[in-house]
Amino acid sequence: MNAPSASRPTTVVAANDSKSIVLTPSVPLHETVAQALPSETITGHPGKTGNGAKISSKPSKLTKAQRKAEARCAATIRQYRAGKAKDFHNLVAACYEVQRDELYCDYPTQAAYFKAEFDLSRSASLRLAQMGKILDRLSPIGDIAALLPADSHVRPLLTLTEEQQDAVLTKVSGWKKVANLLTTPSKLILAARTFLYPPSGPRDEKDTAKTALAAKFIGAVENAKSKLSSNVGTEVVQVFEKLFQTVKDIGAAILRSTGIAWTQKTWNPLHGCTRASSGCDNCYAARQTATRLADLYPGLAVKKTTAAGTITYAFTGKIQLAPEDLAEPLLDHDPKMIFVNSMSDLFHKDVPEEFIDDVFTVMELAHWHVFQVVTKRPERQAQYTQKRYADKAPPNNIWLATSTEDQAAYDERIPHLRNTKAAIRWLSVEPLLGPIDFGSMDGIDWVVVGGESGHNARPMAKAWATDIRDACKTAGAPFFFKQWGAFGEQGHKAKKIKHSGPATLDGVVHHEYPKR
Ligand code: SF4
């Protein structure tokens, strides 16, 4: 804590009889006064002498009981400021009591009291008192100390009405129940607040300026390319093509926070999964969850050694919901393409429908982003969207896919994708493990193809990828070739995959997207 009354080097308190005492800076005003004088004789309204010293020339407005209360509150606040006490609830309760009962009234204002006594700024003291008021009002609802244990928990409630605060806490309790959370992460309060009272659109000018700059950068080169004279040689055209692609990649990279080429960001409001088919055998999410993220998500994935001595990773089937991350897209004001659940499957049978509802609500509210959902459970996705969009059009910004690795998976899943209600229905053909004859491309608005990477990666024949590319071309469907995986174009397993720009198929980068 700061020395009390630092701006009060010497304060003279004049009693209304012959008594007077001199207060030294090391002794807080209220404590000294409370101990030294009977209430009736206390004077203490601070004024200032010409040299800055405060002189109490007016009688204190505090009654004896109030002085005791003020001394108690001040002691609590000082203990906390000095790091000798940790209970946030006691601190804000003391600040609120000072405000509510006007225990500061010997000072011109509440802010002056907090500044002089505790060196607290106006905004900090008002905020603490406001937090105390909120907790005081909410205390009858139960164990409020467990629900809102710290400053960061109460902060998101500060600007809300009482009705809104109640709604946020109801939502938080609901999420805690559905996610089986024993504690309350502070992010959960902010998530509930943002979920219930979301921004109406991207607001941060700085972020949108970044997006605009990237678009301008790409547009300028595209424009220059379009103006190339038809007389320029092939070499110049090729150089320009390369430059254009580089600029596009740089532009996309400005906004990307993931290595996945067809998206810009991942969002994981849940974790954990179960093997659905052979495409899951070397699941990247299971590997990450069992290794790098094992401390964060214990028990969700395990390392296994096969009889042949091969190390694999697999999910255990346990699902962990992360409602505290639900509002993430709403807090990101920079429009992006967001891959939903890169570390799990939203339509896994153990994900409660009410939670899927909340994920869809966020995707609808954050209309400035495009959400790319991929599932290996397209039947549930179809049923869900049929119900959710039974009497309204599905929003343009939610693109729903099924993942398929070979003909058998395609044949089983494609009818469900076609039965899904979505503005964009697409196929994630990753890892491509065998030839797939698409038959009709009806109901498929976009196709992404990629080979498998990692230690146990299985090869992808070039013809499988080119067949799909050709089918897309014939049908006029946009095609995105993501990567070769561990095996290159020639089918040789590389020791280390080199990342030297986007992957090409027959020398061409295919990075097409559906029209929005
Ligand atoms: S469905 Fe997806 S997340 Fe789940 S195990 Fe299979 S590949 Fe992994």
Supply the angle between the helices 407-418 and 378-388 in degrees, to the nearest 10.
10
309's CB contacts (< 8 A; 6+ apart) are none
**DSSP conformation letters of 90-159:** HHHHHHHHHHHTTTTTTSSSHHHHHHHHH---HHHHHHHHHHHHHHHHHGGGS-HHHHS-SHHHHGGGTT
d(CA 412, CA 274): 18
Residue nearest to atom 4 of ligand 1 (CA): 273
pLDDT attached to residue 208 = 60
* 3-state class (DSSP) for residue 381: helix
- Give start and end residues of each alpha helix (H) in 366-498: 378-388, 407-418, 462-475
Q: Which helix (H) or strand (E) holds 267?
A: strand 265-267
Closest CA relative to residue 267, chosen from 188, 339, 366, 331 = 339
Q: Which residues form ligand 1's pocket by a CB distance below 6 Å?
A: 273, 275-276, 280, 283, 285-286, 315, 344-345, 376
Instruction: State the closest ligand 1 atom to the C-alpha of 344, by its place in the atom list counted from 1.
Output: 3
User: Residue 493 carries which DSSP code?
Assistant: B
Two structure tokens written together for 66: 């109030």
Residue nearest to atom 8 of ligand 1 (CA): 283
- Centre of ligand 1 from the C-alpha of residue 279, in Å: 8
d(CA 258, CA 293): 16
pLDDT in tens, the chain (516 residues): 333 333 332 333 333 333 333 333 333 333 333 333 333 323 334 443 333 334 456 778 899 999 999 999 999 999 999 999 999 999 999 999 999 999 999 999 999 999 999 999 999 999 999 999 999 999 887 788 888 999 999 999 999 999 999 999 999 999 999 999 999 999 999 999 999 999 887 755 555 666 666 677 777 777 777 777 777 777 777 777 777 766 666 666 555 556 678 899 999 999 999 999 999 999 999 999 999 999 999 999 999 888 888 889 999 999 999 999 999 999 998 889 999 999 999 999 999 999 999 999 999 999 999 999 999 999 999 999 999 999 999 999 999 999 999 999 999 999 999 999 999 999 999 999 999 999 999 999 999 999 998 888 999 999 999 999 999 999 999 999 999 888 877 777 776 656 567 888 988 889 999 987
pLDDT attached to residue 486 = 86
SS3 content of the chain, % helix, strand, coil (to 5): 45, 15, 40
Mutate to test the pocket of ligand 1, among 280, 342, 349, 379 (most ligand atoms within 8 A of CB): 280
Instruction: State the closest ligand 1 atom to the C-alpha of 376, by its place in the atom list counted from 1.
Output: 1
pLDDT attached to residue 34 = 34
Closest CA relative to residue 325, chosen from 174, 194, 187 = 187
- Centre of ligand 1 from the C-alpha of residue 349, in Å: 13
Q: Give the end-to-end CA distance of the chain in Å, rounded to a whole number.
A: 57
**DSSP conformation letters of 41-74:** G-EEEEEE-TTS-EEEEEE----HHHHHHHHHHH
d(CA 466, CA 7): 78
Closest CA relative to residue 261, chosen from 249, 279, 244 = 249
Domain ranges of the chain: 11-113, 142-196, 214-255, 265-271+321-483
pLDDT attached to residue 19 = 33
d(CA 441, CA 98): 71
- Centre of ligand 1 from the C-alpha of residue 156, in Å: 35
d(CA 215, CA 207): 13
Unique residue bearing structure tokens 């020639």:
490
* Angle at 219 (CA atoms; ends 216, 220), nearest 5 degrees: 85
Taking the model in full, what pTM does it have? 0.79
**DSSP conformation letters of 339-376:** EE-TTB-TT-TTS-HHHHHHHHHHHHH-TTSEEEEEES
* 3-state class (DSSP) for residue 279: helix
Candidate CATH numbers 3.90.550, 3.30.70, 3.80.10, 3.40.30; the one for domain 265-271+321-483: 3.80.10
Amino acid (one-letter) located at 225? K
Query: How would you classify the pairing of strands 320-321 and 301-305?
Result: unpaired
Mutate to test the pocket of ligand 1, among 289, 312, 345 (most ligand atoms within 8 A of CB): 345
Instruction: State the closest ligand 1 atom to the C-alpha of 374, by its place in the atom list counted from 1.
Output: 2
* Angle at 400 (CA atoms; ends 473, 379), nearest 5 degrees: 110
Instruction: State the closest ligand 1 atom to the C-alpha of 273, by its place in the atom list counted from 1.
Output: 4
